[in-house]
Structure 1
Amino acid sequence: MSIHRLIVKSAALLTAGIAIGALLAGAAAAQQKLSFLAAEYSAKTLPFWEQVVADFEAANPDIDVTLEVVGWNTIHDLTAQRIAAGTMPDLVNTATIWVPEWVDAAAIRPLGDDLVDATLRADFVPALFDKGAVYNGENWGLPIAAAARAILLNKGLLAQAGFDPDAPIATWDDYRSIIVGVKEKTGAFGYAFDAKGVRAFRDFGYYLLNNGGTFFAADGRAAFNSPEGVEALQFLVDLVKAGAVPDPLGTTLEDYQPMYEAGRVATMINGNFAIAGIKANAPGLEIAVAAVPVKTAGQTPVTWGVTDTLVIGKAAPVEASRKFIAHIFSTAVRNQFDEAEGMLPVLLSQAGNPAFTGDPNIKAFIDMLPTSQFDPFHPQYAQMQELVKTAMQSAITGAASPKDALDKAAADFNALVK
């Protein structure tokens, strides 16, 4: 081969290389980027999302998804920092109570038909889709995790105390009889609640809501010190005085759930996700699920529902986001997530899954969703929680009556309301 021909061949290869490089550069430029910040629910969360992202990218090679999974104790502040820095992820798995904060920061966009088509919208459980992330008249996200709260009963302890564990608990009086009766006849505590930790306000709220009360009035001021609220707190104080519950001033859910699993507490209010832990830690424990009772027969029981929400950043690429949303909210993916994390189904198309329908206790939680109420959106929600907890502690110690304790909490709260 002559030197001339070598030069020509080398030039041709160089030209071909430039052309291939241009094609690769064009392909890279055409690839869409999508960032997803997910919350960690358990050790199963990260591997689950890694597989979901891998499957999605295999089916959509033109979309590159950057996945980040962080704990619940850091995700709020991390999201806020990213917003402040102008690097808000395209999709974020957030607590629903934080949605107003992200809306007011102009960081997320409302749901539109360009992100969620009509077929997928119609597949969401209405109680979750219609109530969860609606703020200022607009829906700002999709329910990515759902749970509810109900009474979990140790059927053996109730039977030992002479109660029918399958009989409905209709009213507070019914429940009080069981709680006190179990303590008197078995020595185990009949119930446990928290007046110490972050969930204390809910242990008051279960009875406030099931007495027809509410935390806030329409103008945003306190309503938890209503007669309904005073009766709710008095109910809890009376249980403490009867010695039928472990000291709630030194007890949180993390303390009394193990007591429940050990047969030392007959009933507790907890989420559907607790069932998996009970089965693992106390496989011989036979449990049942009941709605939190109402004060007066004839009222409709209120279930405290909780959702976490997938929100979409203002700068998120629409087409890539729409495809990823459709993928992660497919029935198969949702079944995998909800089964792994012990959550309730968010789609109507999950209704036939034996993991939900085959367990009467999980089904009981699902059946309660239509009457659920969710955490209200209020700018001083966190402050309310602390003030109510302080009121609970004052009433339990006898430092103030339930009415005086709640009235003081309400006055302090109203001073914060703008």
Structure 2
Amino acid sequence: MLRRKTARLVMGAAIAVTALWSTTAMAETVRMWTFLNPEGTAPREVALAQIVKDFEAANPDIDVVVEPQVWDQMTPKFLAAHGSGSAPDVIWVVTDFLGDAIQSGSLADLNELLVNNWPEEKKADFKDAYWDLTSVDGKQYGIFTSRNYISLVYRPDLLAEAGINPEDLKTWDDLRAAAEKLTVKDASGNVTRYGFSAAYSEQQADPHPMIPHILASGEPLFHPDGKANFASDAGVKGLEFYTQMIKDGLSPSQAATWTVDDLFEQFASDRIAMIQGSAVRISTLQSKLGKDKVSMSLWPGVEAGKHSPAVMAGWSVGIWSGSKSQEAAAKFVDFMLADPGDKLWTEVGGQIPGMKSTLTELKEFISQPGNEYLSVAATGAAEAGWLSPIEFSVGGYRQALNRATQQVLVEGKDIKAALTEAEEHFNRQNGR
């Protein structure tokens, strides 16, 4: 009897293992490249992990494999992988190289794979400047996520201590005056906290804070033919504004070689009161400092009452045109970026919603103390934002401007000459 029972148990276990093996073998794999690691602890990473888990639970026939990449190298690496036929099924394309990706033929048309199956109200829910940027000649090459608005990030508690109301920072002169009040020195005259800083390394470079100065003047950052327009009068004044703050001790000299990660580390360590910062990073900073100690405002203007345009960036999620799993990839993209993904990105990841309906449905969440930056960024994107063009490649413009800053600060180069050299370098790099 015992022998028969044992045999039945072994046979049952074998059947279960066979069934499990069969299910796993039949599952279709969707590879995705992103800069986020779903095993990480940052809010966006936690959100992505939850989205993947929920999707696989709802779609047991599809396995999503996330392959984290270095963010500023990922899109060029994808373009190379497209050429060799080894690209991932789903790719997050950075704004600067979106035009290159579309023109290379590496991205599939999401209208055919996904959007044409949506009801009209769902299409309207997504349509905005980001949507229009990825729509070319009747084809939809991506849907944006991790939408970014890059402007002034500050410590509300430190500004309050200094008697500064963030709403009073209406002009660039106001910003400098606030930086002066927020800069603290010890008894020996050493700075223990700087008023303002950005990061000027060529590695992991954010758009230079001089760009809002150029855009506010009415000048374009690029001419219609794609050539750089960095060395305009507004560009010279903008770069002078930030380099002079370093020379005057209101910003740290080390910022010349700081990456964005270095800048955020210093901000989180109470070493800087105001920084140029991105909306997508605020949730991570708040997890370290507390929700009441990190906030965001629009850039000041040349004149009071008119905010300077801020650089809007983000990641256009697309599907590789050479993928053998486009249908499964489209199903995952829909889940990740629409319902329920958009709400998870907002509530868990602390990101600007991609759908208008999410803004409405999560109105109470967004209005909670510490979450106001979401509405600030959304308002800025609608009223005072700028997206880099995709008609021509703009890859390398961030690095060119940061290199010019380093030349002024480290080599003592004339600002106009440094920006003219940056223009020439960018134009040459892009064959213009």
TM range (shorter): 0.7 to 0.9
Q: Secondary structure at the match of 2:251?
A: coil
Cα–Cα, structure 1 residues 240 and 380, in superposed 2: closer, same or farther, change >3 Å?
same
Letter in 2 for 1:37: M
Cα–Cα, structure 1 residues 242 and 343, in superposed 2: closer, same or farther, change >3 Å?
same
**2:343 aligns to what?**
335
**2:83 aligns to what?**
84
Letter in 2 for 1:189: Y
**2:9 aligns to what?**
none
* CA apart distance, 1:173: 0.9
Cα–Cα, structure 1 residues 380 and 113, in superposed 2: closer, same or farther, change >3 Å?
closer
* CA apart distance, 1:306: 1.5
Letter in 2 for 1:312: I
**1:190 aligns to what?**
195
The one-character-per-residue Cα deviations of 1:273-309 (angstroms, maximum 9, x if unpaired) are: 3322332222386343211112233544312211211
Q: TM (normalized to structure 2)?
A: 0.78
Q: TM (normalized to structure 1)?
A: 0.80
Query: How do 1:135-284 residues align onto structure 2 when only pairs under 5 Å count?
Result: 139-163=140-164, 165-183=165-183, 188-198=193-203, 199=205, 201-247=207-253, 248-283=255-290
Contact conserved, 2:107 with 2:321, CA < 8 A, in 1?
yes
Q: Secondary structure at the match of 1:109?
A: coil
Find the aligned partners of 2:97 and 2:291 in 1 and give their Cα distance.
39
Deviates more, 1:334-343 or 1:197-206: 197-206
Cα–Cα, structure 1 residues 125 and 209, in superposed 2: closer, same or farther, change >3 Å?
same
Find the aligned partners of 2:395 and 2:176 in 1 and give their Cα distance.
30
Contact conserved, 1:331 with 1:350, CA < 8 A, in 2?
no
Letter in 1 for 2:403: T
Contact conserved, 2:51 with 2:344, CA < 8 A, in 1?
no
The one-character-per-residue Cα deviations of 1:69-124 (angstroms, maximum 9, x if unpaired) are: 32235643653354233344443233233333333332223332652023332111
* CA apart distance, 1:344: 1.1
Q: Secondary structure at the match of 2:168?
A: coil
The one-character-per-residue Cα deviations of 1:43-86 (angstroms, maximum 9, x if unpaired) are: 1356334313313414xx5xx34533322356436533542333
Contact conserved, 1:180 with 1:242, CA < 8 A, in 2?
no
| Structure 1 runs not aligned, ≥5 long | 1-23
Find the aligned partners of 1:78 and 1:384 in 2 and give their Cα distance.
18
Cα–Cα, structure 1 residues 346 and 162, in superposed 2: closer, same or farther, change >3 Å?
same
* CA apart distance, 1:197: 3.7
Cα–Cα, structure 1 residues 297 and 107, in superposed 2: closer, same or farther, change >3 Å?
same
Contact conserved, 1:294 with 1:301, CA < 8 A, in 2?
yes
Letter in 2 for 1:160: E
Contact conserved, 2:202 with 2:403, CA < 8 A, in 1?
no
**1:97 aligns to what?**
96
Letter in 2 for 1:404: A
Find the aligned partners of 2:291 and 2:279 in 1 and give their Cα distance.
18
**1:129 aligns to what?**
131
Deviates more, 1:170-179 or 1:267-276: 267-276
**2:308 aligns to what?**
301
| Structure 2 runs not aligned, ≥5 long | 1-18
Q: Which structure has the larger Rg over C-alpha atoms?
A: 1
The one-character-per-residue Cα deviations of 1:360-418 (angstroms, maximum 9, x if unpaired) are: 23222222111321233376533433332221122224622211221222233334433
Deviates more, 1:232-241 or 1:279-288: 279-288
Q: Secondary structure at the match of 1:108?
A: coil
Find the aligned partners of 1:89 and 1:255 in 2 and give their Cα distance.
30
Contact conserved, 1:169 with 1:290, CA < 8 A, in 2?
no
* Identity, % of aligned positions: 18
**2:16 aligns to what?**
none
Cα–Cα, structure 1 residues 222 and 123, in superposed 2: closer, same or farther, change >3 Å?
same
The one-character-per-residue Cα deviations of 1:195-250 (angstroms, maximum 9, x if unpaired) are: 22432652332433334333210011121111111111111122122211111224
**1:37 aligns to what?**
32
Find the aligned partners of 1:253 and 1:288 in 2 and give their Cα distance.
17
User: What RMSD, in angstroms, separates the aligned Cα atoms of the two structures?
Assistant: 3.2
Letter in 2 for 1:151: L
Q: Secondary structure at the match of 2:340?
A: helix
* CA apart distance, 1:178: 0.8
